[in-house]
Structure 1
């Protein structure tokens, strides 16, 4: 990445206007990638995709949320970038995601944590339509841009956590229904938040559906986990 491209990307990310979508587009224009998604996460059951440059970027983010595995989840947990330069090579670390991603046009995927010191609040997920890794300088610049995104995300995330109005209220891929459904399952089965969310994931996976779709049915009372057969 040349300095001019990096500086322009950084300027777009930190601009006060442009909404949340401004956080994704700069990665696509400044790095040799095809698509990008930014997600914020407080816990396994509290994640929102803040922006996605295209439908596949959004789908890859959703897949990792639904399956509970993948490079983005490792980047979030470890605080370090995770680089998969060739998705055609199966991964023993993420067998379900590895299989699912091979069914998409994504030939390489990369994940950079949104980290501020020891605080990790989300992930930037990148993909490209051809295999290949990123150069060391591109990895460094992508990490720097991810830090810029983290500073932009943090204020809105704190407002959302406190229940105050923020730009997060209009996030297209919000997990609000997932949070609500998790709480309903918790009550239905008299279990914990973690177990309720795991059951939601398991039901979605076993039925070939997304977690969002199942959560919506739970919220609309089309599915009652207490009434499901064992």
Structure 2
């Protein structure tokens, strides 16, 4: 039954998101926590809560944005999950955040998983529980899968809101360039066509370039993508 719920959630989060429907509900159907938020932080997209399942996790995000510390920042910087199973014991990390949280909320546990696409670090998925809670390895692995999918959805949202999406590419020459570059990267990295297009969009978005410019540099071999560990990096 739990495997069915996980598969259903993966399917829901794998679909392009048009701004309707919830991105946190599929997670709450699978993960036994009290609340979930999806937020962008840092230089790429700025600090914003994309979606919060309740006001408590929304306030947790606000505190971290305002104080510049907390599990979401550590997840963003380190690129790995941050797990604090018991906030009712002294926590040395995040002294200002921990003090503010204790003053405002009675939270038992907090977790953060990084949001990224390729080398772009975008933000974090934060989760809290009313009571202390230790995530087992299987649950942690499920959340890593969810955060990987949500990184794509969050970047798609940012590109859609900026108006700089592939849908705006009308030139036949430009479409051909992007198509050729997509095939080049697929052969290079062995990733899907959808992920390759998103990777090109992500690089263009981060560098303030057009997709056509990025595609041309890929074809000229002045821009290459390589897999480093579990990440895809772009290099000149």
* TM-score, with structure 1 as normaliser: 0.65
1:17-96 superposed matches below 5 A? 19=19, 22-43=22-43, 46-96=46-96
Deviations 1:190-217 (A, max 9, x none): xxxxxxxxxxxxxxxxxxxxxxxxxxxx
Change (3 A) 1:101 1:43: same
Q: Which residue of 2 aligns with 1:110?
A: 111
Change (3 A) 1:36 1:112: same
User: Per chain length, whose mean CA-contact separation is higher, i.e. which structure has more relative contact order (CA < 8 Å, sep 6+)?
Assistant: 1
Output the CA distance in 2 between the equivalents of 1:20 and 1:66.
28
Output the CA distance in 2 between the equivalents of 1:16 and 1:43.
24
Output the CA distance in 2 between the equivalents of 1:115 and 1:45.
11
Runs of 4 or more above 4 Å deviation: none
Structure 1 residue 92: deviation in Å? 2.0
Output the CA distance in 2 between the equivalents of 1:64 and 1:132.
21
Output the CA distance in 2 between the equivalents of 1:145 and 1:102.
28
Output the CA distance in 1 between the equivalents of 2:88 and 2:118.
34
1:201-220 superposed matches below 5 A? none
Change (3 A) 1:16 1:131: same
Structure 1 residue 111: deviation in Å? 0.1
The secondary structure found in structure 1 opposite 2:26 is helix
Structure 1 residue 118: deviation in Å? 2.9
Output the CA distance in 2 between the equivalents of 1:107 and 1:68.
21
When the two chains are superposed, the root-mean-square deviation of aligned CA atoms in Å is 2.3
Is 1:109–1:128's contact at 8 Å kept on the other side of the alignment? yes
Q: Which residue of 2 aligns with 1:164?
A: 163
Is 1:13–1:22's contact at 8 Å kept on the other side of the alignment? no
Structure 1 residue 65: deviation in Å? 0.5
The secondary structure found in structure 2 opposite 1:43 is coil
Structure 1 residue 105: deviation in Å? 2.7
Structure 1 residue 149: deviation in Å? 0.7
Q: Which residue of 1 aligns with 2:99?
A: 99
Structure 1 residue 158: deviation in Å? 3.0
Q: Which residue of 1 aligns with 2:182?
A: none
Change (3 A) 1:45 1:144: closer
Q: Which residue of 2 aligns with 1:218?
A: none
* TM-score, with structure 2 as normaliser: 0.63
Change (3 A) 1:158 1:17: closer
Change (3 A) 1:92 1:54: same
Larger radius of gyration: 2
Is 2:117–2:148's contact at 8 Å kept on the other side of the alignment? yes
